[in-house]
Structure 1
């Protein structure tokens, strides 16, 4: 599976550093961190809530048997979230780490959003 997008969206009023580790068949192929500013009135809005974002760069985009682990600066690596892309039968994935939730007050919790309708595939069908 190809990894087409790797971003973080922050819905809370506190900045965070988010780390990502990607393994391909249990071999680490990528590790990086990105600082995501706090959500505030100066960032783009979604509904009645505001957010900020950050994007990872230079992650592997070729097809692989990836497992992606992500964690906040307030967590240990083992306390983070993991997604094993080997469990899905799709050609590509777009992935976002979400800090907090725009619909409810979850504090600085980290979750993973994923979509298998990648933009390159959408462009080919249009």
Structure 2
């Protein structure tokens, strides 16, 4: 979801055993804090075994990307959303929101 008033390309990288399991980019239209634009990544591997998910915006360096380490959670299922910007912040930073409630549809 993009809460920023500028369009952004978001990149994701899913690693399994140190190897790339999934890598995609998605262009998000400009949004607003009260009406974010959204889209979904598709055809990603859903089976267990992934180690780490990275997400970053088009103008961010590798050092600035966000990381979700699945090994930090003792659960069989993790749902997540990648957000650009925030309702309360003017800077369009990338964040990864996660849940272990897989029935939430995230």
The two structures share one fold, judged by TM-score above 0.5: yes
- Which residue number corresponds to residue 98 of structure 1? 83
Q: Deviations over 1:51-102 (max 9, x none)?
A: 1111111111011132001110010223110111011101111111111111
TM-score, L = length of structure 2: 0.90
TM-score, L = length of structure 1: 0.77
Q: Which runs of 5+ in 1 are unaligned?
A: 1-8, 41-47
- Which residue number corresponds to residue 59 of structure 1? 44
Q: Does 1:49 align with 2:41?
A: no
SS of 2:92's equivalent in the other structure is: coil
Contact 1:70 1:77 (8 Å CA) reproduced = no
Aligned-pair RMSD on alpha carbons?
1.5
Moved over 2 A (4+): none
Structure with larger RCO (C-alpha < 8 A, sep 6+): 1
Q: Which runs of 5+ in 2 are unaligned?
A: none
Q: Which has the larger radius of gyration?
A: 1
Contact 2:14 2:50 (8 Å CA) reproduced = no
How many residue pairs get aligned? The number is 104
